[in-house]
Structure 1
Amino acid sequence: MTEQKMDHPSHPHQLLRCFGRMISPCNACGDEHSGTFYQCTTCSWFKIHLDCALLPTKLLIQKYTNESFSHPHLLNLACSFPHIERKSKFYPRCRVCEVAFNSYKWHYRCDRCWYYIHVKCATSRSEAFMSVLMHAGLGKTNKNFKDEDHPNLIKCPFPDESCNLLKNLFINRGELNLKTQIDGAIFNHQDPLVLFDTKASLLNVSVSLHDPMRKVELLCDGCVRPIMDLPFYKCYQDHCGFVLHEWCTKLPSEIQNHHDHPEHPLVLLPKVPTKSFGMFLCKLCWLYSNGFAYGCVKCGYYIDINCAFIPDVITHDAHPDHLLRRFKGSIDISERYCKACNFEVEEDHLGFHCPTCDFYMHTECALLLPSTMRHKYDKHPLILRYDPAENHDGEYFCEICEDELNPRYWFYHCSTCDSSMHTSCAPLILQCEQSTYSEDLDDPRPFFKFINVKFGGTHYVRDHPHPVTYVQGLEADGRCIVCNKPLQFNAIFKCSECHFVCHFRCVRVSSPVPAICAT
């Protein structure tokens, strides 16, 4: 039998049962209900529906949802969510429907994690929990495609840094038929390239596989991805750092009818001929690269070799069981905010989206952020997370740049050490003191801004007698001697013999070896 009066912790005054059935908004959940209500006799505006009045103070949501979505810990009923608290938690959204919270509405929360959920979603009292099919929530979705219809479907994220589209497309999956030596001239390199296919072949040369834990960096000159496994090709000159993945030697010489530039064929270019030092801005991901490119010299159109093979559809663990289709940002959609970084997929950018859900991603976020990352600051693999970590109720701080981290957006996390890193900071291996996420406000990308650039090497520039090195600028490097603008976070040339330092865009290209240096 329903009590006529009720003392409820959500309100300081006693509540009285309203006689008769009524239709009214509920102050607890915010929805309109029909049925029995309790009303405060002092505050006439305060009414809560019977179902909300009887909500359990503690709840394990698997019992209510058939594991359509779940959380391992007991949730506690909270009758308010003050603005100052929501601000400190980066304005969290419901983990099921992804709708924001109201300061005065009830919700369930986990005291051990950053897990918050509307009462109606937690209890499945209505069809609200089915909104996982309409929003980019973290609940389970029903599979909307057949595997046999997509035999070559790319599944993202890739398992580690060494994997990319090219490895999926061009690696010889059968018995490897590799040449022990290939002509470097076809890749605009003057010396032959030698195959390294066994660990024994590495013993007598000064080259080691890419290993973040030992601060060893070995990047392919083609795709600029780490070389972490055998086989690969390297220039036979021991002092030369020119290396290629095995699959990067199998790239087609040209691409016909590319989806973004169908007017002319795109030709494989080991170095973009019209750009200084081969550095160019990719027309699809809008990231700088000095690796191989596919380009149309006539139109001045260049894209990096990874972007050249972006597929029509992929799947991603952040939105499992639904196909994500490639789209151009110019399609008529009012909001195209990437679920990884919360930045808009702009009109001239490519992205992936789920046609049946409110889910959008930059192609770069989908393809450049692997599921695991190794870093010298943590002895365990770091896992890519799409939501706050379980059993972590404190604040989040990046171990690299030491800035506060918003766990609503993707980040890397070690649950063993309880450490976290921005996705843009995690790949930094040799320059860990550089922050590229929160401080570089001109380019707030969710990944290392020079992820497609291979630094290092010896170069020569006009009007300077010494060789210079290609690096990323630090705060200590000061200002460019040409334009007097700060060098931090930018690609720069730096001389180890004097104080010469400038942006790569400010320098003038010289002949390979100036006469003054030819000694």
Structure 2
Amino acid sequence: MEQQQHQLQHFIHPYHHHPLLFNPDDRSGRYCRGCDEPVYGPSYSCKESGCYHYSHHKSCAELPLGLHHPLHPIHPLILFPPWRYSADEKQFYKCELCKEYKGIYTYRCSRCDFNLRITCASLAAPTTIEPEFHHHPLTPFWKWITFTCDLCGKKDEGTPYLCHLCDFLIHGKCSIFPCKVKVVRHKHLLHLTPSSLEFHPSDSRFCQICVEKVDTHYGLYYCSRCDFAAHLHCAMGNKENINLQEFKDEDEVSEHDELVDSTTYEVKKFNVGKDGIQIAAELKHFSHEHDLKLTDEAMSNQKCNGCVRDIFPPFYSCVKCSFFLHESCANLPKKKRHPLHQHPLTLFPKTPYRKKDFWCRACKRNGNGFNYSCVPCRFSLDIPCSLISDILTHPGHEHRLILSSIESKQNCSCCDSNIYPIFRCTTCAFALDFKCATLPHTTRYGQHEHAFTLCYTAEDDSGEYYCDICEEERVPKHWFYYCVDCSYPAHPKCILGKYPNY
């Protein structure tokens, strides 16, 4: 092969005078003539008419013409096209490793009729590997076998790597797992635990990223401080982009993950309560131009400008305009971390984007109140969703719920939606999405004189359930709002409206 700048003269091209031209980012998806896989990324291909875009991955086009291989050490192997002609019939070579006939390039010893597909030759090329998580080097097992990987636990066919001292058998691709990893969902480092030695055989553990069972007989990532476990691939998929080499120990990583709660207001006047504790009676909040005063008066048909929920005492109000803030919303920190995003989130009183509203990544609803956002990532959370951590105790369910940020087929048990992230129960088949998890426990509706309470079970055993607002039938297992004084049931969407965060 003679390589020139941006082009290559390939020895297997049927028209030798046509060079293959280099494309640094090929998105055609045409199949590579070398490995018969779709081409995405750097490639070489022929652009001449009649050659049908004779395409190669860059790596396949630049394969060496010959190599010495440990599976056939007595003779060199030469690169051949995938076929040979026998009695005018095209036949593929049989690979000695995988025992398959495939139409891809083959390394061949003609004297011994020994053949290796290029994919098998590259898989078996390293003589030893030294993974971070194992004390001994691993050597390839030069035979195509059916085995179960001692790290990922998957049953597979291929050529595994073996530790002869420990009888430890793994995929070659599993050797790249690092010993330590920092994930978005947890403040400490997770350590790769390659066996069940640290766990009792009766332990029933769940991955705290996908909330599926973890088989402790195989590898997992684990934090012994917090008893936090995660599947290998879940942890790698949820990994933060930080350089662990910058930190001397794990406490520094924890400090990196902690944020000082920066204040969002200046106190103008204090009152002293009966217990002698100072109370901020008047303050200047960064979200509003006027001073706000603390009040205990009951109000109706007014919403908090922070969480956009019904206002209830104690709250701060503006004497000059209709601006209200729950005391809890006034005390929100300026910055915080959340298990759904790897970067710190900043509190904004309005949408930080050009649009008039923001889209909450958790409950999938638009809003125009306070929000925690990472502007470079266009990631936003409304206030109710930002206050929920990754472990939830909800009065609507008897067991604790764990946040699953991995897409699953499980629907929300309270509204049948299929959106994620979702909270899942490890004891039963209950699941709860953010939209239902953040429903207010009490709310008001129009001019109705009583408050409505969120109910989790049907109000009676009549078998007929309707919404008194839209007069349509209700699903008995779905949560609903109910006025006990008036025996008045209603869908949450009918009570709260189509845009509850406005």
**TM-score of the aligned structures, taking structure 2 as reference length:** 0.43
**TM-score of the aligned structures, taking structure 1 as reference length:** 0.42
Larger relative contact order (Cα-Cα within 8 Å, sequence gap ≥ 6): 1
Bigger fraction of residues in strand = 2
Higher-Rg structure is: 2
